[in-house]
Amino acid sequence: MDTSPIVKERENILSRKIEDITIDEANLELLKVAKELGIETVFDRLAKQQPRCIYCYLGVSCRICAMGPCKITNKADKGVCGANADVMVARNLLRNILGGTSSHVDHARHVAMVLLEAAEGLAPYKIKDVEKLKRIAEKLGIHADDTNELAKKVALLALEDIGRSIDNGTMAWIKLHAPEERIETWKKLGVLPSGASVTVVEGMHRTSMGNDADPVNLVLGAVKASIVDGYAGLSMSTDLQDILFGTPKPKFSEAGMGVLEEDYVNIACHGHVPILSEKIVEAAEELEEEAKKAGAKGINVVGICCTGNEILERQGIRVVGNELNSELVIATGALDAIVVDYQCIYPSLAEIAKCFHTKLITTSPIVKIPGAEHIELDTKKADEIARKIVRKAIESFKMRDKSKIKIPKFKAKVLAGFSVESLLEVLEKISPEDPLKPVIDAVKSGDIRGFAAIVGCNNPKVKHDYMHVEIAKLLVKNDVLVIATGCAAHAHAKAGLMVPEGYKLAGDGLRKVLKALGSAAGLEALPPVLHFGSCVDNSRIGDLLGAIADRLGVSIKDLPVVASAPEYTTEKAMAIGTWAVALGVPTHVNPVPRILGSELVTKLLTEEAEKILGGFFFIGETPEETVEKMLKIIDERRKKLFS
Ligand code: SF4
Ligand code: MSK
């Protein structure tokens, strides 16, 4: 058994200096504050977790049934039931992807429920993008004279897609977004899902003791689950959120810890679903006078992680940071409340909040954290609840210990809010008849060498933001247009890659294109890294690639495109990455997923997948190594496409 990767990882974690932990200077400043105050952070806990179990690291351990836990060792090549290393790795992988898919599908389900309640007049939400509702309804074959009736039918079809258990037909949201050629490919492979919940139930069933023992079949199950993730998770969430809260348009804002204001009531919204945070933004405006009476100059709502991205892209709300900023923002001593919905919420926030006056407020019935105050979001009373939460923050402001306030100055300008719709709007100004023509021409001429999506989380094993930022810089220098979402987008924003001036970092060809598109949009240039929103908004990238492929008359698997989750953490990122591979996109992941214990599964994902899907996974542990591989893939695809 090759133990060198785990040893290397351990040595790196235990030997690194504080300066090697993050490239975010504000985070570094606060990390030092936390150390002085004796506050334990995610980085300390990672060190305490060493040494790690090699069997878990390689994916060759199993605790699915009561005959276990089992592991594959030099003396035992099978678990008690007879499952070998390949089965364990494939089963663990599928279960991870089911976890990620379930998170996204549940997110979409909540938004569909709110749309339904809004349409029935039961919850205080308005349909902000009626045009998008009509477009989607039309494509779904739904008709109604009245907007609310139309919204109701769309919401019910979304819920039906999630709940459908009769195993025939194709999910409506797959037909709505997936290219025809992909649907045919997936059908032939037997991985075309008919419903979301049934695919998750089936996946949990087949991975339980005494079922699927064919690693290839299990990996195909993972592909099937990821397709559910892509459409009943990502696309459905994006579509319904755009209908309810508006489709994003580019807008300037700011990113970094420096967006906190010493004299204001600071409220951070953290998590993923914008159902409550949209209301918090409204309530904060409404209760400005109450904050002033409490001695503040006003109320400053900021965002963390993907809830941050959601309110940034639609409302221009400033973002304070990504996953690895989420603990340390409390150490500024200036955060009066951190309001969380779900996903990517460290339970440790409660412990850290206790050291300050900060109120941690949980709001979802499935996310309760001892030490937090729980104010559950009843969507029917959303306005009332948002006001209650904002008032809690105002109360908390009065409890501040001024001696503890240390807000790092650092913040950067960001142009966020790109969507397929807003991009097409810009392109239509240049080429009204055929909006994608300028992009296609630039790809053909080589001014745009290719496209890269840099997405996903932070992981404390990786220097915070380093891979996100350095990979992007190298790519744009080599004329690759970068699109980013999730915590990656926060990293790029903080690094100044999401402003028009950033075009100067691009190679000559890309620079020309960014200038031309920017001038059509009334800007100096488009940023070289486009902020495409939250994790669920990876759906927008799928749609954009589908449209470009369609315009070229090819499949996504033929496009000069790569994806990367270079600091990934969550099961959701694994689901999204596998969906990208299913779409035909070569996808880089770092750290190395827990699959190395099976040569067969590793080969399937990194080599064989290309033959059947067009996409595959690849590894790269440094920006240079990763970008070299990416450019090679892009150039090979260009050669095939244009020869
Ligand atoms: Fe062990 Fe098999 Fe049970 Fe897993 S399912 S714990 S390998 S006996
Ligand atoms: S928030 S899923 S750590 S990107 Fe979407 Fe960030 Fe990853 Fe959570």
Q: Quote the tokens at residue 416.
A: 């966020």
Distance linking the first and last C-alpha atoms of the chain: 44
Q: Please indicate, yes or no, whether residues 266 and 342 belong to a single structural domain of this protein.
A: yes
Is residue 412 one of the residues assigned to a domain?
A: no
Which element (helix H / strand E) includes 438?
Answer: helix 437-445
Residue 8 placed within a domain: yes
**pLDDT value at residue 210:** 98
> For the stretch 559-596, what's the b/e string if a residue is b when 16 or more beta carbons lie within 10 angstroms of its beta carbon?
bbbbbbbbbbbbbbbbbbbbbbbbbbbbbbbbbbbbbb
Q: Are 219 and 189 in contact (CB under 8 A)?
A: no
Q: If you measure from the C-alpha of residue 306 to the centroid of ligand 2, how many angstroms do you get, rounded to a whole number?
A: 6
> How many domains does one find in the chain?
4
Q: In what order do the strands lie in the sheet with 319-321?
A: 373-374, 359-362, 337-340, 265-271, 299-304, 319-321, 251-255, 412-416
Point out the ligand 1 atom lying closest to the alpha carbon of residue 82: 2
**Whether the CB of 344 sits within 6 Å of ligand 2:** yes
Radius of gyration in angstroms for the set of CA atoms belonging to the chain, rounded to a whole number: 24
Residue 305 Cβ inside 6 Å of ligand 2? The answer reads yes
Q: Could you say which of 350, 374, 404 is where a domain stops? A: 404
Ligand 2, residue 485: give the atom nearest the CA. Answer: 4
Q: Which amino acid is at 50?
A: Q
486 lines ligand 2 (CB under 6 A): yes
Q: Domain containing 528 — which CATH number?
A: 3.40.50.2030
Q: Dihedrals φ, ψ of 566, to 5°?
A: -80, -5
Question: Domain range holding 556?
Answer: 418-642
**Half-sphere CA count of 307, side-chain side, radius 13 A:** 30
The ligand whose atoms approach the alpha carbon of 305 most closely is 2
With helix as H, strand as E and coil as C, how does 485-525 read? Answer: CHHHHHHHHHCCCCCHHHHHHCCHHHHHHHHHHHHHCCCCC
Residue 18, Cβ density class (10 Å: 0-12 exposed, 13-18 middle, ≥19 buried): exposed
Residue 458 Cα to ligand 2 middle (Å): 7
* 335: in domain: yes
Q: What gap in Å lies between CA 5 and CA 619, rounded to an integer?
A: 13
* Mean pLDDT, residues 612-641 taken together: 98
Kindly give the distance from the C-alpha atom of residue 124 to the centroid of ligand 2, in angstroms, as a whole number: 28
Pair (426, 399) in one structural domain: no
104 and 43 part of one domain: no
Residue 567 lies in a domain: yes
CA of 2 to the centre of ligand 1 (A): 23
**Which ligand is closest to the CA of 84, given by its number?**
1
pLDDT of residue 220: 98
Task: Examine the domain organization and report whether 557 and 537 are in the same domain.
Answer: yes
Residue whose pair of structure tokens reads 């190679």 in the numeric block: 507
Q: How far is the CA of 70 from the centre of ligand 1 (A)?
A: 6
User: What confidence score (pLDDT) does residue 643 get?
Assistant: 85
Question: Counting ligands in written order, which one lies closest to the CA of residue 208?
Answer: 1
Residue range 329-351: mean pLDDT, rounded:
98
Residues 40 and 107 in one domain: no
Is 497 part of a structural domain of the chain?
yes
> Are 301 and 317 in contact, with CB atoms under 8 Å apart?
yes
The pLDDT value recorded for residue 3 is 84
**Token reading at 451:** 């496209």
**Of the candidates 245, 268, 288, which is a domain's last residue?**
245
Structure tokens at 331: 């150490």
Residue 576 in this model has a pLDDT that exceeds 80: yes
Q: Which ligand is nearest to the CA of 62?
A: 1
CA separation for the pair 327, 452 (Å, rounded): 30
What is the residue-averaged pLDDT of the chain? 97
Q: Do 89 and 217 fall within a single domain? A: yes
Of 245, 268, 289, which one is at a domain's C-terminal end? 245
Predicted pLDDT of residue 360: 98
79 inside domain: no
Q: For residue 364, what are the β-bridge partners?
A: 367
Alpha carbon nearest to ligand 2 atom 8, residue: 344
384 and 441, same structural domain? no
Which is it for the CA torsion 185, 188, 190, 196, positive or negative?
A: positive
Whether 293 is in a domain gets the answer yes
Closest C-alpha to 105, from 536, 562, 618, 518: 536
CA distances from 584 to 46, 197, 559, 561 (A): 34, 24, 9, 9
- Same-domain pairing of 369 and 431: no
Which alpha helices (DSSP H) does 268-376 contain, by range?
274-286, 288-293, 305-315, 349-354
Q: Are residues 390 and 365 part of one domain?
A: yes
Asked whether 487 lines ligand 2 (CB < 6 A), one says: yes
Which atom of ligand 2 is least distant from the CA of 305?
A: 1
71 C-alpha to center of ligand 1: Å? 9
Query: Are 271 and 365 found together in one domain?
Result: yes
Closest ligand 2 atom, residue 455 Cα: 4
* pLDDT tens by residue, 161-205: 999 988 778 899 999 999 999 999 999 999 999 999 999 999 999
Same domain, 218 and 356: no
| Parallel, antiparallel or unpaired: strands 70-71 and 450-454 | unpaired
Same domain assignment for residues 521 and 610: yes
Question: What's the mean pLDDT in 507-527?
Answer: 97
Other beta carbons within 10 angstroms of residue 36's beta carbon come to: 9
With respect to residue 250, please indicate whether it lies within any of the assigned structural domains. no
Ligand nearest to the CA of 86: 1
Ligand 2 lined by 306 (C-beta under 6 Å): yes
Q: Check pLDDT > 90 for residue 511.
A: yes
CA atoms of 585 and 597, how far apart (whole Å): 25
User: pLDDT-derived band of residue 2, with 50, 70 and 90 as boundaries?
Assistant: confident
